[in-house]
Amino acid sequence: MKRNWVILITLILSLVVFVGCGASVAKEEQVQNDLETFSDKAFLADGENISSLVIDKRDTDKKQKTDRVWCTVTTEKDDISYEKGVVLDYYLYDKAGWTLDNYTVDDSEKWVVRPLKGVDENTISNNLAGQTVTVDGEAWEIIASEVSKVSIQSEDTDLEKKTSQVTLAVQLDGEVETVEGTLIADYEFDRAWKVKNLYAKDSLRAEVKDGKALDVSADSILDDIQNPEIKYGVSGAIQKVTISKDEVEDFSVDSQQSKSKGTEQTIQCSAKLIKSNVTFNVAINAEYVYENGAWNCYQIDPVLTFDSAELQGEWKGTYIKGGGNGVAVLEITEVDGNNLKGTYSYTPYKTNKWSQPGSYEVEGEFVPDGLLVTLKAGDWVNEPEKYMSVTKQDISAVLYADDAIMKGSGQESCIFNISKQ
């Protein structure tokens, strides 16, 4: 009886060993399941799935209870296919059977990567950042935050050649300007869809956003002139002319140039500056930069040029000289262009044999660049009874625009200060 039990146990053990050694190795379905559920390390990334698995070869050693399997595994994620070489190592456990112990995957550089469809809008939106398009003749480099709208109008994709041409409507939203238009994007697939060329279907035009336009009114531009006193004249006759808003007429913006997506603007303006006796042309070149939500004037350069002067008529005032002061009158009777004719007269407050009234003809010119009046002394009109050899002298004066006075020298080198009556 005891011998029978020994034989029975021996037969059972032999059967167990026979069954274990005869367990079938893992087939494609099992290998795929093992890769998907292997707990030591994840084979699939988030959103990735296995679309096919083919066993290329295997090396099974039943004595060592090992099975090495070489597979080609194709996975898909985000409409891209990845063909990978995978080697799996199985071990035959007595109770669990053939169990995956470990696996290795080829380096990603060796994977065969193919597109499954053309470019989607999300990919295009991300790809636009860093690209450059021409807007109003200026290069506009797109940054990610500016891409506010992208929609595909048409797409011509060749999956075999891994190319796609996409026609898309875009809207770019900059700090100051917005751009809407149609772009053509040429894509090539190299492990991912990449833009090789981007250009506008038609010319792109920018529009200034509501509330972001630069105020180019006369009040705004003139308020930004930090130093309203402008030097005018020639060497030896320089004066400061003040620009006051109430003296400015015919203000106009002659040109407005924009760059850097509308955040930098150069304004060229012109106007008339009307003084009492002189009118100037004013040319203003102003540069503005939009930063921190506001326009700031960085440079403004007003330049004055002569336009016209009201010289004809009586100029009356006082003169000062060592021998006594008095009244000076310059009567400009003729103005022909810059040529002047008239009479100059002087009357002392107190007369004596050395200080007597007189008048004489004068003729000369007006020099606009310096507002200079230079007149040669002519014949006596009212000759004083007593006079020195230097009594009758040429007139040399400067017309001061802000003060509306003419200052200069007359008879006997006296200094006069006269204004138009």
Residue 120 region, left (φ>0) first, then alpha (ψ -120 to 50), else beta?
Answer: beta
Distance CA(25)–CA(6), nearest Å, equals 32
Question: Hunting for tokens 């053309």 — which residue is that?
Answer: 118
pLDDT score for 211: 93
Alpha-carbon distance of 180 to 200, in angstroms, equals 10
- Which tokens in the block code for residue 10? 């021996």
Q: What DSSP character marks residue 211?
A: T
Q: What are phi and psi of 243, to 5 degrees?
A: -95, 115
Count of CA atoms in the C-beta half-sphere (13 A) of 318: 6
At 39 the pLDDT is: 86
Closest CA to 330 of 348, 317, 349: 317
Mean pLDDT for all residues in the chain: 91
Q: pLDDT at residue 22 above 80?
A: no
**What's the pLDDT score for residue 388?**
62
pLDDT value at residue 21:
47
| Percent of the chain with pLDDT strictly greater than 90 | 81
pLDDT digits 0-9 by tens, 366-413 = 999 999 999 999 999 998 887 565 678 999 999 999 999 999 999 988
Which tens digits make up the pLDDT trace of 229-286?
Answer: 899 999 989 999 999 999 999 999 999 999 999 999 999 999 999 999 999 999 999 9
How far is it, in rounded angstroms, from Cα 243 to Cα 221?
12
Q: How would you classify residue 396: left for phi > 0, otherwise alpha for psi between -120 and 50, otherwise beta?
A: beta
Considering only the C-alpha atoms of the chain, give the largest distance between any 2 of them, rounded to a whole number of Å: 179
Residue 309's pLDDT is 97
Evaluate whether 353 touches 388 at the Cβ level (below 8 Å): no
Structure tokens given for 300? 């403004």
Instruction: Please tell me the distance from the alpha carbon of residue 191 to that of residue 83, in angstroms, as a whole number.
Output: 12
pLDDT at 11 over 50: no
Using alpha carbons, list the distances in angstroms from residue 154 to 47, 119, 121, 180, 200: 27, 11, 11, 17, 14
On the question of pLDDT at 63 being above 50, the answer is yes
Measuring CA to CA, which residue among 54, 92, 49 is closest to residue 70?
Answer: 54
Contact 123, 78 (CB under 8 A): no
- 14: left (phi > 0), else alpha (psi -120 to 50), else beta? alpha
The two tokens of residue 129 are: 């950042």
pLDDT per position as a tens digit, 189-241: 999 999 999 999 888 999 999 999 999 999 999 999 877 889 999 998 999 99
Residue-wise pLDDT for 318-355, tens only, equals 999 877 899 999 999 999 999 999 999 999 999 887 78
Give the CA-trace dihedral at 344, 349, 352, 354, to 10 degrees: -50
